[in-house]
């Protein structure tokens, strides 16, 4: 059996007497793009916060590449290669696209900040930035100030910043939120190119994108896993159709 890229065991998050995530156990395979879907209040964002280390779990375990990372804070998980791309972009408006990406690469390395070396002249960082620019489709926008980017391009920049940190696993929280159809299509194409090179957990409200991208899909309802299966299995699962697919995801 292939070892899991990321696995949770009976993960729980409580707020008072409410179980926001209720004994969530998922198993994501190396190189897999695994989507999480579910109606409002299903616990999707809470779960991704628990996986990234932003939110501590009350019970259960998170295992990354076989290691128990349950007690590790977000920055330590990131340095192990478990990277989150945020739903709301967090970029430096006054810096160029390339400078933002190089800073992201620097931040991923524990001893990266050597202020006596110009950051854009450090070969390892510049190579990582160039690879990320190419992967994200931003090579021709590298010298543009981030403030001048359109919304879709800003989301591409955010993803490029995550890639520059050389992750082993990407946690993507609604990367297509607020995009036009054309912008969403560009991001779907980008994620299709990344598939197999990274293990990816995707939370996304756009069901067309989910079904186009996902190897497997987990459905959350009221904080619990209802079902995990391939896109075809999800489409044909009677209970999933009853509780979710006829409703609008948010």
Question: What structural domains and CATH numbers belong to the chain?
Answer: 1-81+168-250 (3.40.50.300), 91-167 (no CATH)
pLDDT above 80 (res 181): yes
How does strand 6-15 pair with strand 27-28? antiparallel
Among 4, 1, 6, 12, which residue's Cα sits nearest to residue 225? 12
pTM, 2 dp = 0.87
How does residue 151 score in pLDDT terms, banded at 50, 70 and 90? confident
Specify whether the CB–CB gap between 219 and 203 falls below 8 A: no
pLDDT at residue number 186: 86
Task: Give pLDDT tens digits for 196-240.
Answer: 899 999 999 888 999 999 999 999 999 999 999 999 999 999 988
Task: Give pLDDT tens digits for 95-146.
Answer: 999 999 988 887 766 444 454 455 555 556 778 888 899 888 899 999 999 9
pLDDT at residue number 87: 52
Chain-wide mean pLDDT for the chain?
Answer: 87
pLDDT at residue number 41: 86
Sign of CA dihedral 116, 119, 120, 121: positive
């Amino acid at each position: 059996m292939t070892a899991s890229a990321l696995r949770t065991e009976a993960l729980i998050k409580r707020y008072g007497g409410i179980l926001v995530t209720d004994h969530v156990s998922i198993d994501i395979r190396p190189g897999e793009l695994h989507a999480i879907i579910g109606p409002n209040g299903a616990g999707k964002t809470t779960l991704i916060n628990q996986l990234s280390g932003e939110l501590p779990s009350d019970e259960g375990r998170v295992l990354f590449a076989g290691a128990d990372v349950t007690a590790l804070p977000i920055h330590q998980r990131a340095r192990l290669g478990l990277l989150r791309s945020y739903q709301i972009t967090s970029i430096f408006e006054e810096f160029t696209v390339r400078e933002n990406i190089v800073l992201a690469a620097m931040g991923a390395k524990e001893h990266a900040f050597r202020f006596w070396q110009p950051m854009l002249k450090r070969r390892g960082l510049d190579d990582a930035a160039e690879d990320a620019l190419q992967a994200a489709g931003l090579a021709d926008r590298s010298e543009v100030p981030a403030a001048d980017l359109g919304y879709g391009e800003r989301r591409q920049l955010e993803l490029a910043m995550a890639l520059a940190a050389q992750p082993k696993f990407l946690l993507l929280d609604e990367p297509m939120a607020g995009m036009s159809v054309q912008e969403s299509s560009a991001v779907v194409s980008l994620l299709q190119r990344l598939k197999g090179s990274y293990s990816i957990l995707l939370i996304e409200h756009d069901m067309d994108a989910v079904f186009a991208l996902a190897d497997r899909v987990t459905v959350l309802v009221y904080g619990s896993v209802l079902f995990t299966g391939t896109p075809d299995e999800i489409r044909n699962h009677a209970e999933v159709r009853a509780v979710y697919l006829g409703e609008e995801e948010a």
